[in-house]
Structure 1
Amino acid sequence: MNELPNPLTPADCDLTGYRWMPLDVIRVIDSDTFGISTGDEFKTAFRLWAKSWQQVPAASLPDDDRVLAHLAGLSENLPKWKKVRAVALRGFIKCSDGRLYHPVIAEKAIEAMGKREAHVEREESEQSRQQRYRERRKQMFETLRAHGIVVPMSTKMDELERLVASLPASPTVTDETKSVTESVTDETPGDVTHDASATSQPRAGHGYDMDTDMDSDKDSKPKGSNGRVGDSDATCVRATPGALSAAMRKHGVNSQPGDPRIQAAADAGMTVETITAATLEAKGKKPNEAIKPGYVLAIANAWHAEASAPKPAAAAQQPRLNPEEQRRAVSDANAAAWLASTTPATDPNVIDMEH
């Protein structure tokens, strides 16, 4: 007794979501089935090929004559089914799982299954890439806000990367520096640096010009300031007009610390980081033009205003009255109106006692 072959497609070969089936037209028109079949026989054969594509496993049909007649669309015309059955099922073979498989359709089904798995992998990879992209944008926005720079959420990725790259690098603390700092701190009274910010001194990379800006710094630095600007900018250093001016000059913008607009920006709590980012933004928008301080300050002030804008308060909701409270309120209003002789003539809730 001959053993039946194994199924030609895996048991989990499911192509029910695919509304298309590849058709090798050369193999079809050169096949014996195409050559010997009548119109009704070939029509039924093609219908069964398409039905097998949507079965699980794909490329198979159940070995049940009544079900086959139903799939062929001839369940109401069994004599016709018996007439076309032999040619319509030509090429199908019975396998060990008890189902009928078509070798050519099985070959195409396995190819489609591989392409489907590759498509799913690409979709998952794309979703992962987009997730990493969103997380990186979120991290860059948080980094800029930590340096006092607030940019619109619609800012493009290359602009965010440019702004983040322009931020000053954090200084590295070595063991030798740490030991020297600790020894000096131990000998310094605690009330001298109690309220001073750890970053209150100008740092390298900010473009601070000690020769030209020292005098203006002394005159413009707010007295009694602890170097912090509001609650939202707690980690940002309040800059002097000289520092803001130097930050612009560092990137080729001719500005002076005595400019009233720069002094006003310093008084408003503008940071060096914000001015630096605004300068780079201005140069990016007008790469072939000479940038003026007013244009830089306009960009920085717009960012500063957006960051400082108060959030709208939620409207207070009036308590809802139950029916009894509503009737009492109407009655009290009618009584007050009558006593004041200002009863509305058109109020349907007021009874005119004189008519």
Structure 2
Amino acid sequence: MASSRLAVKIGMSWNWSDVRREFEIVIPAHGREVDVIRVPPNKARMLGKLLRDAVRHRYLASLLPKPDQGKVFECISASPFSNHFLRTGANTRFCDWRFVHRARLGVVPLNAATRWGPRDDLRCRRCGWQSETLPHVLDHCKVHSSAWRGRHDAILHRLAGEVPREGVEIRVDRTPPMIDSALRPDLVVVDEGRRKIVIVDVTVPFENRKNALDVARQTKFQKYSGIAQQLADRGYTVSLSALVVGALGAWDPQNWVVFRDLGIAKRNVGRIAKYMTSDAIRWSRDIYVSQVTDKILYPTTPALPPGLGTNYSPRNSSEDDDPTN
């Protein structure tokens, strides 16, 4: 009976092997080089895990094509750090837990996100934009621009606080040395001894499919490529990278390049990634609640990591009101 149900759900089947002269269980191999996995009796211990993986993939495959609910899950399914809190609730408030699951499915109550009954007014209740959706609230409604900055800086300060400081200069939200430019990358680490400069910029886009994270990263490369070239012309080895964390906690697997360039130990990457995804979710939840209640719940400025106070200056550029900048 179990085999019959799994045959309908995941395509599992029994097969007689003429070579081994025994029955084997055939399971579709999703995401592997082979098409199917054949499990003989002497490998029965593997069966439970393979069946769970196949069922999990079946549910994920049915969720991702959904035009609204699948877009966030396409991003958060790329890395386990995006979902580190599911079993333990680590670094996550109860209110964040109640918010994030509905938000990732796109079912939080907003004027343009209601799925039942007609709505006379879909406009944003704060800025009057024509459509009050969750992406608009978390990344585009300028009423919450200070919260975008706080969410961005919370992630930036986590990163800056982990950079090894011996023999380097750490510049947070300041122009690189010897450069005549108005652009201020989020983090610049200067190692004069090795003539090396690392430029990192943080961005928090909404998870509108995986392509949205890729576009946010490429935008950072285009924005600061001129600065990187000027420093390279002066004889420095320049590393330019972007740290991309989704507004609902999606962790981009390409972020490992940032930690490698900054010299952060591999054993610390997982811990930092979990804190950053939880930071993004916490701030996004407070932004959403502030949207629907008109009460400011978020702090004005996140605390700086020790030792960075002299290198920090507040933003004053209007382009930094956009969370993708």
| TM superposition score normalised by structure 1 | 0.23
> Normalized per residue, which structure has more helix?
1
> Normalized per residue, which structure has more strand?
2
Give the structure, 1 or 2, with the largest relative contact order (CA under 8 Å, sep 6 or more).
2
